Amino acid sequence: MPAYKDYKTGKWEALFYYTDYKNERRKKHRRGFNTKREALEFEREFLAQSQFSIEMTFKSLYSLYHNDMESRIKKTTMETKEYIVNTKILPFFEKMKVKDIKPIHIRKWQTDLLKMEYSKTYLKNIYNQLTAIFNYAIRFHNLDKNPCHTAGSIGKKDADEMQILSLQEFNKMIDCVTDKENKFFYIILFWTGMRKGELLALTYEDVDFKNKTIMINKNFQIVKKERLITDPKTPRGRRVIAVNDVVLNCIKDLWNTSYKPNKTDKIFYLSKDSLKRQLDAACKKARVPRIRVHDLRHSHASYLLSNGVNIVILSRRLGHEKVQTTLNIYCHICPSSEDRLNDVLNG
């Protein structure tokens, strides 16, 4: 339909009809455009986003995907997804028509990403975001195939990239950490298996010294430079775990050396850069494998499994939604368990 000018205000209006996802005819009216071209462009974009077509641009397809997903996942998860798409995917694909995106274009995009020296886990995450958009179009809008599948994946999932420190290696590393707060942070991660964000959100009132437990009920995130305290990553992420005296003594020390501490205070105020930098330096000085902060969680899981802890108990402790998740990540890091099984079978 044509655009209309409101001669009282001098502004243009877009007025048109469209068919929604229920196949019902609806009217759309939007005012306030400075030019006729802007009004017509709004109509074109709205219709493109309301009805899938292989003639639409990738940007319009992403709008459909975004509108479908934003009410289904956590706000912080959506914002992370938006950041990756807006900074790593749209700059390459946004103006291309969906029908014109071929595996060779995916490969060229991957080549550009590989030049950026991102971690393998991050590369895998970026690739998965693009794959998810095309999978959405296949599932709900009858797109024939996903060009990402032909192009192939890049990066590695977290389980493929993990490094594990033994207890002996961890002790060597921790002796090389000079800053007390960072040292205590690494110690607590190793002995609890908490996620970094969970420990950064932990308050003193979450610690039960009498029963030697910690309640994990929140997560710390930085999204778009904003510091947020959010719900745990999964429903099972809300949990109570048993802890040892090593952990409790670290927390007591921090409480006793804090200025007028309050039970609602966060225990740690550390930056991502500081945690990474000091861990790298300590690993190098101790001459142990270089690990990421998250690998302390993996090291905790490995230590428990190698000492006979049941996989179901470990899964609950780590806050995994499914035991299968725990199995997928850790089944290959405990060959000693296989040896023990062989010993039992062979008498």
pLDDT in tens, 205-247: 999 999 999 999 999 987 667 788 888 877 889 999 999 999 9
d(CA 290, CA 165): 9
Does 204 lie in the same domain as 59? no
pLDDT in tens, 194-208: 999 999 999 999 999
Does 129 lie in the same domain as 205? no
pLDDT, mean over the chain: 88
pLDDT at residue number 48: 62
Q: Which residue has the tokens 């599932």?
A: 139
**Which range in 11-15, 16-20, 152-156, 220-224 is most confidently predicted, on average pLDDT?**
11-15
pLDDT at residue number 229: 87
Q: Final residue of a domain: which of 156, 175, 209?
A: 156
Does 70 lie in the same domain as 16? yes
- The larger pLDDT score, comparing residue 67 to residue 134, is at 134
Residue type (1 letter), 327: L
> DSSP letters along 76-102, please?
HHHHHHHHHIIIIIHHHHTTSBGGG--
pTM equals: 0.68
Does 286 lie in the same domain as 177? yes
Domain tally, the chain: 2
Asked if 56 and 101 count as a contact pair (C-beta separation under 8 A), the reply is no
pLDDT at residue number 327: 87
Q: Final residue of a domain: which of 156, 188, 214?
A: 156
CATH number at residue 72: 1.10.150.130
pLDDT at residue number 22: 55
Structural domain range at position 127 = 4-156
pLDDT in tens, 306-340: 898 999 999 999 999 889 889 888 876 655 555 55
pLDDT at residue number 23: 56
- pLDDT bin (cut points 50, 70, 90) of residue 117 is confident
Q: Which of 22-36, 59-73, 326-340 has the lowest mean pLDDT?
A: 326-340
Residue 162 forms part of a structural domain: no
pLDDT at residue number 336: 54
- The larger pLDDT score, comparing residue 299 to residue 2, is at 299
Residue 161 forms part of a structural domain: no
Does 98 lie in the same domain as 172? no
Does 246 lie in the same domain as 141? no
Does 148 lie in the same domain as 193? no
Token pair in block for residue 174: 């921790």
d(CA 126, CA 130): 7
Q: Which of 36-45, 130-139, 284-293, 304-313 has the lowest mean pLDDT?
A: 36-45
pLDDT at residue number 176: 98
pLDDT in tens, 142-152: 888 999 999 99
- Which residues have a Cβ under 8 Å from the Cβ of 111 and sit 6 or more positions away? none
Residue 181 neighbours by CB distance under 10 Å: 18
CB neighbour class for 312 (10 Å; exposed up to 12, middle 13-18, buried from 19):
exposed
pLDDT at residue number 67: 82
CATH number at residue 264: 1.10.443.10
Average confidence (pLDDT) over 251-273: 94
pLDDT in tens, 83-114: 899 999 999 999 999 999 999 999 999 999 99
d(CA 291, CA 189): 13
pLDDT in tens, 161-176: 788 999 999 999 999 9
pLDDT cut 90: percent of the chain above it: 59
Residue 342 has pLDDT above 70, yes or no: no
Phi, psi of 81, rounded to the nearest 5 degrees: -60, -45
Instruction: Rounding to the nearest 10 degrees, give the CA dihedral for residues 219, 222, 224, 228.
Output: 50
Q: Final residue of a domain: which of 156, 176, 206?
A: 156
pLDDT at residue number 274: 93
pLDDT at residue number 341: 55
Does 151 lie in the same domain as 53? yes
pLDDT cut 70: percent of the chain above it: 90
Cα-based distances in Å from 219 to 7, 20, 105, 191, 194:
53, 38, 37, 18, 10
How many angstroms separate the first and last alpha carbons of the chain?
Answer: 82
